[in-house]
A and B are shown apart, each in its own frame.
Chain A
């Protein structure tokens, strides 16, 4: 595996990716991220994209939106979620969320609230009948 020869490069890029995964809510930018990997910005962006298929900045946005979805699904408000994933402005957050998720954070929040309520009131709606019957969960 030719890639083995470059394992130290992989390890540095992976550490930078994990840095984003952990610090996404902070005010991090390309300088922080590339600094983690000890690469020049250009080299870092090129390697990161070759491994993860997107630039570090795009990846940071994706991680922020993924975590915003988790928070909204748990019941946090749109304002709370936007702050918790590192956005200063709820408007920029809503705009980015809609661009990525295809719906507004409010619509997503409402959808998830309905799902949570449905799980609480009738969890069997989410379980295929074959499993319910086999495991003795009756309707």
Chain B
């Protein structure tokens, strides 16, 4: 039986910028930042209170995985805000919302009451969107 998720990917358009967004703005911790040769980089971060889940900030770039057309298509889709990548939770949504706004994070939906608590939606530096939720205890 499956027990846990240990790695997941978020496709980003620039790893330096993604590092700044996820580490300096969202407050995630760097797990591994390893050069893989030829400009490739294995960059994983973890949510502050979930050190066992590595989120790979994977660059959309031409190479073994993506050909030129795929890179163009993915770049367009990511920038258009097509992909909702994950739900993050916090203890106090309004405080987190205010803090992230002060740090320059763009929200596409402000905090709103939902049946499970409160939710807001923000966008990362590439265009991926995320739910930020405060779940009822």
Q: With A128-B7, A134-B64 given, is the CB distance from A51 to B34 under 8 Å? A: no
Give the number of residues in B that approach A within 8 Å (Cβ atoms). 24
B65: Cβ under 8 A from any A Cβ: yes
Residues of A within 8 A of B7 (CB): 128, 131
Structural contact, B32 and A10, CB atoms closer than 8 A: no
Give the dominant DSSP class at A's interface: helix
Structural contact, B34 and A10, CB atoms closer than 8 A: no
- Name B36's contact: one of A1, A3, A7, A137 (CB within 8 Å): A137
Structural contact, A126 and B95, CB atoms closer than 8 A: no
Whole-angstrom CA separation of A119 from B33 in the bound complex: 8
Structural contact, A14 and B99, CB atoms closer than 8 A: yes
- Name B95's contact: one of A1, A13, A124, A135 (CB within 8 Å): A13
Give the number of residues in A that approach B within 8 Å (Cβ atoms). 25
Structural contact, A137 and B40, CB atoms closer than 8 A: yes
Residues of A within 8 A of B64 (CB): 134-136
Q: A1-B94, A7-B94, A135-B40 are in contact. List 11 more A-B contacts (CB 8 A).
A: A1-B113, A1-B118, A4-B94, A7-B98, A10-B95, A10-B98, A17-B99, A52-B92, A119-B32, A124-B36, A135-B64
- 16 A-B residue contacts at CB 8 Å? A1-B118, A3-B94, A10-B98, A11-B98, A13-B95, A14-B98, A14-B99, A17-B95, A17-B99, A51-B91, A51-B92, A131-B42, A135-B63, A135-B65, A136-B63, A136-B65
